[in-house]
């Protein structure tokens, strides 16, 4: 299976401009089975209330665009976006193919002055298995690992709005490995019972 995880330029602002930019990148991929875009890919990552003007309405526009891209490029696609629902803003991630949205995950540890926080689910069930999604900082929170510890997972996705600090790559890897090992130990303990 050919999986492409894409990093995007956050300096490009505006939904129409970003969609054209992203599609041009997708069009350059050779036979993608899964395309994974980063956190807030559709609006560009912004940790301020400025982002609110780019919010989707209950995921409608993002869902339609994701299905269109999936159909056009014959792929599954994961998309990060800002959503507005029931008076609150959410940092969300969905996975789609040309026919349907398989699920949506909301960031639990969202920026408090900008996004709704809470204890949200982390699993999206797809035809290729369960996908665990931890948006940005959620990847470093115990809540995510508790959510997935009893699940059979085919893929773990950590969509971030910006890349990890290349000057601290060892620290980033060490932290992620720590949490993954904790989860793996718990799973091995559960299976031995």
Interhelix angle 15-27/60-73, rounded to 10 degrees, is: 20
Please state, in angstroms and rounded to a whole number, the distance separating the CA atoms of residues 132 and 158: 9
Q: What is the pLDDT of residues 54-73, one digit of tens each?
A: 999 999 999 999 999 999 99
pTM, 2 dp: 0.85
Q: Look up residue 18 and give its two tokens.
A: 């970003």
Helix runs in the chain, H state only: 15-27, 60-73, 142-148, 169-192
pLDDT of residue 192: 44
Range of the domain at 149: 3-192
pLDDT of residue 17: 95
| CATH label of the domain that carries residue 136 | 3.60.110.10
pLDDT profile of the chain (193 residues), mean per 10:
91 93 97 97 91 96 98 98 96 98 94 88 96 93 91 94 67 71 51 43
Q: Find all residues with CB under 8 Å of 187, minimum gap 6, and list them.
A: 149
Please state, in angstroms and rounded to a whole number, the distance separating the CA atoms of residues 35 and 103: 15
Please state, in angstroms and rounded to a whole number, the distance separating the CA atoms of residues 186 and 147: 12
pLDDT of residue 176: 67
CB 180 within 8 A of CB 188: no
Query: How many Cα neighbours within 13 Å face the side chain of 131?
Result: 24
pLDDT of residue 183: 55
Q: What is the total count of domains within the chain?
A: 1
Write out the DSSP string of 82-93.
EEEETTEEEEEE
């Amino acid at each position: 299976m050919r999986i492409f995880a894409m990093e995007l330029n956050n300096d490009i602002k505006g939904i129409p401009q970003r969609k054209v930019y992203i599609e041009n990148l997708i069009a350059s991929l050779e036979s993608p089975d899964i395309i994974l875009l980063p956190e807030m890919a559709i609006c560009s990552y912004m940790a301020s209330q400025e982002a609110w003007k780019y919010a989707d309405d209950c995921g409608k526009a993002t869902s339609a665009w994701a299905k269109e891209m999936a159909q056009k490029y014959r792929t599954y696609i994961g998309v990060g976006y800002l959503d507005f629902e029931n008076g609150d803003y959410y940092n969300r991630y969905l996975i789609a193919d040309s026919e349907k949205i398989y699920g949506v995950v909301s960031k639990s540890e969202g920026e408090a002055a900008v996004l709704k926080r809470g204890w949200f689910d982390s699993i999206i069930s797809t035809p290729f298995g369960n996908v665990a999604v931890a948006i940005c900082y959620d990847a470093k929170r115990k809540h995510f690992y508790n959510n997935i510890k009893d699940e059979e997972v085919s893929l773990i996705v950590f969509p971030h709005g910006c890349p990890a600090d290349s000057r601290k790559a060892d620290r980033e890897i060490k932290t992620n490995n720590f949490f993954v090992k904790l989860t793996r130990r718990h799973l091995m303990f559960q299976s031995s019972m």
